[in-house]
């Protein structure tokens, strides 16, 4: 594409940031970064596809923000400090304009500046379907990365923030119903729990970020840790709007809808007060929603002491046609 370089250099290059550990950033065949001594590099990649992860015609600022946020959420779940990003843009001709790039840049820098992430390179190409892919790298002390596989029987299960808001927003938007701007933001501009993830190093025995639905993602953690769990519905952190949704449609909806980007983690009960203090320090709700149990117990969900049926659909399924967002 003839104008590719102009667009990249005019609009993307200012997103480079000013990290001292970027030895060579955008402009060469590859970037060079300098990891700290005693650290390991944690890498994650997430792709957002138009019509599947965001609406056709969505503000480019939201797309940029979300593409970085979802990767920040993965690094947070590993306990890593985010540092360097690579950005792949596959754009339809209609997006290759200064207006689109300016919006994209605004959304990206809104978030990248908050977390001090440098854009160190990427790739730009044409495609019929707008697709944004971000690779994010960060650091964690050697051997300290939090994984999905360390949960121990008897650990508490904790959840940050609230669940179901993004799922509610998507449901209402698809039904063309009114919704509160704050709830809509949870879908378009999720908040990755970056500081929480880093603070959990040494405390959490396992962690995962909730992207496809709480039950689906908890399932991944239980499988990796070879344990079971007991969850209490009355301990679930639901916003006022989601509580109303639960009254109308049941607790299953918010626990099986995607895009929450909260952290779910396990920790020994000895850390209970430390986690509560951490919640205060971060100004973030962190709720104890259950306990890790033996694997042969599987997953048990209780509500007011009564065991509940486990929903067959546990979360967002990328290959299910029912989960495709509106495409026109
Ligand atoms: P090459 O052909 O050697 O892969 P490109 O022409 O694709 O290089 O890119 C030139 C420079 O611009 C590289 O440093 C690359 O990392 C950067 N770049 C290209 N597209 C993007 C993008 N979407 N975001 C960030 N950097 C980009
Ligand atoms: Mg090259």
First-to-last alpha carbon distance for the chain, in angstroms, is 27
**pLDDT tens digits for range 216-266:** 999 999 999 999 999 999 999 999 999 999 999 999 999 999 899 999 999
Q: What is the mean predicted confidence (pLDDT) over 145-174?
A: 97
Q: Where in the chain is the domain with CATH 3.30.1330.10?
A: 4-141
φ, ψ dihedrals at 156, nearest 5°: -75, 150
Local structure of residue 23 (DSSP, 8 states): E
Indicate which atom in ligand 1 lies nearest the CA of residue 26. 14
What angle, 0 to 180 degrees and rounded to 10, lies between the N-to-C axes of helices 60-77 and 181-188? Answer: 70
Ligand 1 centroid–CA 55 distance in Å is 26
In whole angstroms, give the CA distance from residue 157 to residue 170: 27
In whole angstroms, give the CA distance from residue 238 to residue 240: 7
CB 183 within 8 A of CB 239: yes
Ligand 1 centroid–CA 258 distance in Å is 32
The architecture CATH gives domain 156-307? Alpha-Beta Complex (3.90)
Ligand 2 centroid–CA 138 distance in Å is 24
In whole angstroms, give the CA distance from residue 324 to residue 317: 9
Q: Of all helices (H) and strands (E), which one includes residue 261?
A: none
In whole angstroms, give the CA distance from residue 269 to residue 249: 33
Closest protein CA for atom 11 of ligand 1: 27
In the sheet that holds 118-126, the strands lie side by side as: 39-49, 131-141, 81-91, 118-126
C-beta 8 within 6 A of ligand 1: yes
Closest protein CA for atom 9 of ligand 1: 123
Give the mean pLDDT of the chain.
93
In whole angstroms, give the CA distance from residue 11 to residue 5: 10
Residue 194 has pLDDT above 50, yes or no: yes
Pick the CATH number of 4-141 from 3.20.20.120, 1.10.760.10, 3.30.1330.10, 3.40.50.970: 3.30.1330.10
- Ligand 1 mutation target, pool 5, 15, 26, most atoms within 8 A of CB: 26
**pLDDT tens digits for range 8-43:** 778 888 899 889 999 999 999 999 999 999 999 999
**Alpha-carbon dihedral angle through residues 27, 31, 37, 41, given to the nearest 10 degrees:** 130
- Ligand 1 mutation target, pool 5, 7, 8, most atoms within 8 A of CB: 8
Residue 276 has pLDDT above 60, yes or no: yes
**pLDDT tens digits for range 287-322:** 999 999 999 999 999 999 999 999 988 787 655 555
Q: What is the pLDDT of residue 176?
A: 92
Question: Whole-model pTM?
Answer: 0.94
- Ligand 1 mutation target, pool 87, 122, 130, 134, most atoms within 8 A of CB: 122
DSSP 102-167: HHHHHHHHHHHHHHTPEEEEEEEEE-SS-EEEEEEEEEEETT----SS---TT-EEEEES-SSHHH
Ligand 2 centroid–CA 108 distance in Å is 24
Indicate which atom in ligand 1 lies nearest the CA of residue 124. 20
Indicate which atom in ligand 1 lies nearest the CA of residue 121. 16
C-beta 121 within 6 A of ligand 1: yes
Higher pLDDT, 96 or 221: 221
Class of residue 10 by CB neighbours under 10 A (exposed 0-12, middle 13-18, buried 19+): middle
- Ligand 1 mutation target, pool 15, 64, 123, most atoms within 8 A of CB: 123
What Rg value do the Cα atoms of the chain yield, rounded? 20
In whole angstroms, give the CA distance from residue 95 to residue 72: 25
Ligand 1 centroid–CA 18 distance in Å is 18
Q: What is the pLDDT of residue 326?
A: 42
Q: What is the pLDDT of residue 314?
A: 78
Q: Compute the half-sphere exposure of residue 105: CA atoms within 13 Å on the CB side of its CA.
A: 18
Q: What is the pLDDT of residue 7?
A: 75
Tell me how crowded residue 18 is: count the other CB atoms within 10 A of its CB.
8
Q: Which two tokens stand for residue 19?
A: 């990290």
CB 265 within 8 A of CB 207: yes
């Amino acid at each position: 594409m003839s104008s590719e370089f102009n667009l990249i250099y005019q609009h993307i290059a200012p997103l480079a940031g000013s990290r001292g550990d970027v030895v060579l950033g955008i402009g060469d065949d590859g970037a060079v970064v300098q990891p700290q001594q005693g650290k390991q590099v944690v890498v994650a990649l997430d792709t957002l596809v138009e019509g599947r992860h965001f609406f056709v015609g969505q503000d480019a600022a939201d797309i940029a923000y979300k593409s970085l946020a979802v990767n920040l959420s993965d690094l947070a779940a590993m306990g890593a400090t985010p540092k360097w990003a690579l950005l792949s843009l596959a754009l339809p001709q209609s997006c290759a304009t200064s207006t689109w790039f300016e919006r994209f840049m605004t959304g990206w820098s809104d978030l990248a500046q908050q977390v001090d992430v440098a854009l160190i390179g990427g790739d730009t190409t044409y495609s019929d379907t707008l697709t944004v892919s971000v690779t994010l790298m960060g650091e964690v002390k050697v051997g300290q990365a939090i994984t999905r596989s360390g949960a121990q029987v008897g650990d508490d299960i904790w959840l940050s923030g609230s669940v179901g808001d993004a799922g509610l927003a998507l449901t209402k938007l698809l039904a063309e119903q009114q919704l509160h701007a704050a709830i809509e933001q949870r879908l378009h501009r999720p908040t990755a729990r970056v500081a929480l993830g880093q603070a959990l190093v040494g405390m959490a025995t396992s962690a995962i970020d909730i992207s496809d639905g709480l039950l689906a993602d908890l399932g991944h953690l239980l499988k990796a840790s070879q344990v079971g769990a007991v969850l209490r519905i009355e301990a679930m952190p639901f916003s006022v709007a989601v509580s109303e949704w639960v009254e109308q449609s049941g607790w299953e909806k918010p626990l099986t809808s995607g895009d929450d980007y909260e952290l779910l983690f396990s920790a020994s009960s000895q850390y209970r007060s430390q986690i509560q203090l951490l919640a205060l320090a971060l100004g973030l709700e962190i709720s104890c929603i259950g306990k890790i149990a033996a694997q042969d117990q599987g997953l048990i969900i209780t509500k007011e002491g009564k065991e509940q049926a486990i929903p067959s659909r546990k979360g967002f399924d990328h290959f299910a046609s029912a989960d495709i967002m509106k495409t026109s």
